[in-house]
Amino acid sequence: MANPTPESNPSIGIYVHIPFCQSKCHYCDFYSITRAERIPDYLDALKKEMQLSKISGVRADSLYIGGGTPSLLTPRQMGNIVDWAAAYFNLDPNAEMTLEVNPATATTRDLQDYAAFGFNRLNIGVQSFNDHHLTFLGRRHTAKQALAAVKAGNDAGFTNIGLDLIFGLPDQTAGTWKSDLLQAIRLAPKHLACYMLSYEPHTPLHADLQSGRFTALSDLRTADLFRMAHDFLGAAGFEHYEISNYAQNARWRSKHNQKYWNFAPYVGLGPAAHGCRVPVRWWNHRSLDHYLSDIAAGRLPRADEEHLTLEQQMIEALYLGLRQSDGIVLADFQRRFQSDFKLYFHTAIDRFNAEGWLEMDDRRCWLTMEGMLFLDRIVDELIEMIS
């Protein structure tokens, strides 16, 4: 197979990780610590990491500040990050600029100030509108605060607001999930992410599951909740454009997250952040101390990097492409891998199509909603066919 041609002067995305939270949620596997007094040291180092990572000749058309809890930063601190992104990565004034917000820390005043620094998209970590579920997850906020955060976002003038929800909790019923979805629809967000609860090793929730304090929801019932979100949100006009993501229409899809799924280049900054410019992918140390000491020594705080072989890139293209309703674009696949997707995978394609899991036309191949439930199995079988 020939190597794909890297794009010259592409648009890039920038992800900045804010590794601080007020407390740790029981299910959380993201890197964050609760020592907010270290924020100033971290921001000094972040500026240096941006200087060290500076790329000439690019334009950044998305900036995503995630975490952690970015809304622990003052608006001025957030404004500094925007200024550095402009200075070192040529941040486009019209870039999609997303700020993740925790309902426990969102005030209209702060959100107005963030907006003044150019943020034009809020992603609010609601997770649930059910206080019992929020307590189970170890979230600090209540359903009332989640509603207040959305109102604060609207009052601050944000027209592009996304909400995150979690489903698949142990005692979640069709009724409680339906009321979460209906509440979300009533708030008219432009974007909704519905993540399935996962039990990550080394989290308190995983330990509680292992010790038998509760029983996980069965796969069958979890699948029913996934179908329910697809049906309810579809009926409310949302397009299910990625396995976990819905947008009011294509205009409101997350441009930044689409870069991850479409192999567009992005730079990740901060502890545990990942970056990618095909064929290279790299990631930073998952420790603030390690991160700070590397930066103090004038080094990029890289934990490691990998050079993806063409076969690895094809595997990623299958997995990431089939997560999206647009699916795999056959002409792109041909261009990148010098291979005809239909010919390469035709036996599996016919089988999955007969199951009702996969569809294909002259341009694309995509999974049906039922197929999305079997994404891992489908991709595993396709991978076995790669020689």
Chain centroid to CA 22? 21
Of 24 and 290, which CB lies nearer to ligand SF4 in the complex structure?
Answer: 24
Task: Provide the token pair at 230.
Answer: 């697809």
| Smallest distance, ligand SF4 to C-beta of residue 205, A | 11
Q: Which is nearer to ligand SF4, 273 or 379 (CB)?
A: 273
Cα–Cα distance for residue pair 168/181, rounded to 1 Å: 13
Out of 69, 123, 128, 245, point to the residue binding ligand SF4 (CB under 6 A): 69
Asked whether position 25 contacts ligand SF4 by CB under 6 A, the answer is yes
- Yes or no: say if 285 and 272 are a contact pair by the CB < 8 Å rule: yes
Minimum distance from residue 81 beta carbon to ligand SF4 (Å): 17
**Any idea which residue has 């060290």 for tokens?**
52
Contact pick of 11, 32, 90, 183 for ligand SF4 (by CB under 6 A): 32
Residue from 12, 18, 21, 97 that binds ligand SF4 (CB under 6 A)?
21
List, edge to edge, every strand of the sheet that includes 364-367. Answer: 328-329, 364-367, 358-360
**Closest distance to ligand SF4 from the beta carbon of 133 (Å):** 14
Which of 10, 30, 120, 178 is in the footprint of ligand SF4 by CB under 6 A?
A: 30
- Tell me if 28 contacts ligand SF4 by CB under 6 A: yes
Choice between 165 and 360, CB closer to ligand SF4: 165
Contact between residue 12 and residue 267 where contact means Cβ atoms under 8 Å apart: yes
Q: Does position 126 bind ligand SF4 by CB under 6 A?
A: no
* Stretch 225-264 residues interacting with ligand SF4 (CB under 6 A): none
Looking at the DSSP bridge assignments, the partners of residue 387 are: none
Sole window of 18-26, 162-170, 235-243, 351-359 interacting with ligand SF4 (rule: CB under 6 A)? 18-26
DSSP state letters, 303-335: EEEEE--HHHHHHHHHHHHHHBTT-EEHHHHHH
3-state secondary structure 337-381: HCCCHHHHHHHHHHHHHHHCCEEECCCEEEECHHHHCCHHHHHHH
CB 326 within 8 A of CB 364: yes
- Report in angstroms how near the CB of residue 20 gets to ligand SF4 at its nearest: 8
Does 24 bind ligand SF4 (CB under 6 A)? Our answer is yes
Distances (CA, A) of 340 to 1, 112, 300: 12, 50, 40
Among 67, 75, 265, 268, binds ligand SF4 (CB under 6 A): 67
Span from 9-17, 20-28, 91-99, 230-238 in contact with ligand SF4 (CB under 6 A)? 20-28
62, 98, 102, 176: residue in contact with ligand SF4 (rule CB under 6 A): 102
Question: Are 316 and 334 within 8 A, CB to CB?
Answer: no
Q: Which residues pair with 62 in a beta bridge?
A: 13, 96
Q: Which residue's CB is nearer to ligand SF4, number 25 or number 115? A: 25
Q: 3-state DSSP helix/strand/coil percent for the chain, to nearest 5? A: 45, 20, 35
Least Å distance, CB 147 to ligand SF4, is: 18
Least spacing, CB of residue 99 vs ligand SF4, in Å: 14
Question: What is the binding site for ligand SF4 (CB under 6 A)?
Answer: 21, 24-25, 28, 30, 32, 67-69, 102, 125
